[in-house]
Amino acid sequence: MQNSGPAPASGNAPPRRGRGRPRAFDREAALTEAMHLFWRKGFAATAISELTAAMGIGAPSLYAAFGSKEELYTEALRHYRERYEAQVWGNFAAAPTARAAVEALLTDTAVALTQVCAPEAARGCMVTLSAVGGEGHADLGACVQAARALGFERVVARLSRAAAEGEFDASVDISALARFVMTVQGGLSLQARDGASRAELEAVARLTMAGWDARVAD
Amino acid sequence: MQNSGPAPASGNAPPRRGRGRPRAFDREAALTEAMHLFWRKGFAATAISELTAAMGIGAPSLYAAFGSKEELYTEALRHYRERYEAQVWGNFAAAPTARAAVEALLTDTAVALTQVCAPEAARGCMVTLSAVGGEGHADLGACVQAARALGFERVVARLSRAAAEGEFDASVDISALARFVMTVQGGLSLQARDGASRAELEAVARLTMAGWDARVAD
DNA sequence: CCATTTCTGTATTGTTCGATACAGAAAGAT
DNA sequence: ATCTTTCTGTATCGAACAATACAGAAATGG
């Protein structure tokens, strides 16, 4: 039952082909296709037959390589985060001030959510919009919820540091401000899902920063 | 195939019992249970067997009364809006200024999203968080998307009126401001789904209004 | 070479899905 | 009372679901 793949990613310097017949498909490419499908349709509404068709493999290959539908979803989620996280959080982490970090977060989110990668690509963040928790898969739900909580914690940490460095005074409610930022950031995914353009989302980011400036002394 | 119920809700002064055996269950009560289930689990992840169990009826009664799973979802959605819309939009409509209207909208949304009605009730707005469009049901998806668009249009209309009445000057980008408000309002559902409290959501509403004040001359 | 190991494609497992056929029950109509 | 109409409960439909059995193919190790 447990994964017995050929030491899936233990390093990668020695490709370390196992003994038997080699896998005939690119595991990462197949995972990307699965990610796209889960992203667009969600967990429950995506059938194994759709996955195998999109991944270009048979069902036994899918189960041999990924274990189960749940494990495949978990890996697809990890793949998604590894692929897109830097796009949204990279400038946030590098910004010199908390204000610049939050502005970068919202602007980069607006850009990331509106770049069309595929003709019928999913719109909105896979993590933000995932409803897998309510669908009766508590473990997967906890997984995406933890991913969402991480974003909030990052903002809280950055704001705490800014407060310690005197970027704004101690009267600012850091938790409330962080939640405000994450509320907008999440809302951007909902807007993107309903077809909002990049310019429209960037305007939302600007208005949010106006709210920031109204509350935080520069 | 088409609904042949006894003139379902043509008025209600004459209960207007049809000819045959009377229905043994309360249609509205059953619809409420279906709404709760769809709200919590979504369309695809809710099985007919779960619905019949929660509604306390057999499958033939469900199909006789509601037609199909899709039609039941549509009715549950209508039921949801009829039941909760005033709670969120009532004060918005009655407010004397656009600012008061938006503030009421966000505050009332914060309250509505955090009032627990049932032990394991769904959290977040059924319309905002519905992913039925991506699940492969384009018609239902268009239905919820239209419901979401209506909120945006209401805010645009109120802001346009305010601009015409001179509440703020003509340089304000009404569409952008409305989208900002709806982005926050949607984001509140995501926060509520992840367990945010009423006080936390109300703090987000306050920060949003600070942003409003920063952009709009009073 | 042959043995071992692992993957692939076909076919199929048992289960659950959404939706109905059917017979009996409960009402109005006459 | 009898006929007609409509609802209820059981039992079930074909289709689709997630997951596997199995035999053959393709690689390594000896």
Structure tokens at A20: 């038997």
The SS3 of residue B210 is: helix
Note which residues in 58-87 of chain B have CB less than 8 A from chain A: none
Note which residues in 137-166 of chain B have CB less than 8 A from chain A: 145, 148-149
The amino acid sitting at B126 is M
Residue with smallest Cα–C1' gap to D28: A19
Residue A14 pLDDT class (50, 70, 90 cuts):
very low
| Mean pLDDT score, A185-194 | 98
User: What's residue B169's pLDDT?
Assistant: 87
Chain B contact for A204 (CB, 8 A cutoff): yes
Distance from CA of B91 to the nearest CA of A (A): 22
pTM of the complete model = 0.92
In chain A, the percentage of residues whose pLDDT exceeds 70 is: 89
Q: Is B48 near strand C, with its CB below 7 A from some atom of it?
A: yes
**pLDDT tens digits along B120-176:** 778 999 999 999 999 999 999 999 999 999 999 999 999 999 999 999 988 999 999
Chain B residues within 8 A of A183 when measuring between CB atoms: 184, 187-188, 190-191, 204
Cα atoms in the 13 Å half-sphere on the side-chain side of A46: 26
Nucleotide closest to residue B57 (CA–C1'): D8
Average pLDDT, chain A: 91
A170: DSSP letter: T
The amino acid sitting at B91 is N
CA of A22 to C1' of D29 (A): 15
- Yes or no, beta carbons of B191 and A179 under 8 Å apart: yes
- Yes or no, beta carbons of B203 and A41 under 8 Å apart: no
Q: Of the segments A115-119, B65-69, B114-118, which one has the largest average pLDDT value? A: B65-69
User: What's residue A4's pLDDT?
Assistant: 38
User: What's residue B18's pLDDT?
Assistant: 75
User: What's residue B9's pLDDT?
Assistant: 37
| Mean pLDDT score, B12-19 | 57
Chain B contact for A18 (CB, 8 A cutoff): no
Q: What is the C-alpha separation between A66 and A73, in angstroms, rounded?
A: 9
Question: Higher model confidence: residue B159 or residue A10?
Answer: B159
Report the b/e string of B80-92 with b at 16+ CB within 10 A.
bbeeeeeebbebb
Angle of CA points B124, A132, B79, to nearest 5°: 40
A93-97, A137-141, B168-172: segment of lowest average pLDDT: B168-172
| Mean pLDDT score, A154-162 | 98
Structure tokens at A154: 């990052």
The amino acid sitting at A142 is A
The amino acid sitting at A90 is G
**pLDDT tens digits along B23-48:** 999 999 999 999 999 999 999 999 99
The answer on pLDDT for B13 being more than 70 is no
In chain A, which residue's Cα lies nearest the Cα of B152?
A191
Start-to-end CA span in chain B (Å): 57
The answer on pLDDT for A10 being more than 90 is no
Note which residues in 117-136 of chain B have CB less than 8 A from chain A: 122, 128-129, 131, 134-136
In chain B, which residue's Cα lies nearest the Cα of A185?
B187
| Residue the block writes with tokens 């409420």 | B32
Element (H, E) at B61: helix B59-66
Q: What is the C-alpha separation between A53 and B135, in angstroms, rounded?
A: 17
Residue A170 pLDDT class (50, 70, 90 cuts):
confident
User: What's residue A12's pLDDT?
Assistant: 33
Residue A15 pLDDT class (50, 70, 90 cuts):
low
Question: Higher model confidence: residue A30 or residue A216?
Answer: A30
| Mean pLDDT score, A97-116 | 96
R_g of chain A computed on alpha carbons: 20
Nucleotides of D under 7 A from a protein CB: 4-12, 16-22, 24-29
User: What's residue B112's pLDDT?
Assistant: 97
In chain A, the percentage of residues whose pLDDT exceeds 90 is: 84
**pLDDT tens digits along B84-99:** 999 999 999 999 999 9
Alpha carbon of A186 to those of A105, A151, A167: distances in Å? Answer: 11, 10, 25
Asked if residue A123 lies in contact with residue B141, where contact means CB atoms within 8 angstroms, the answer is: no
Q: What is the C-alpha separation between A27 and A23, in angstroms, rounded?
A: 8
Residue A119 pLDDT class (50, 70, 90 cuts):
low
| Residue the block writes with tokens 């998307």 | B145
**pLDDT tens digits along B182-197:** 999 999 999 999 999 9
User: What's residue B15's pLDDT?
Assistant: 53
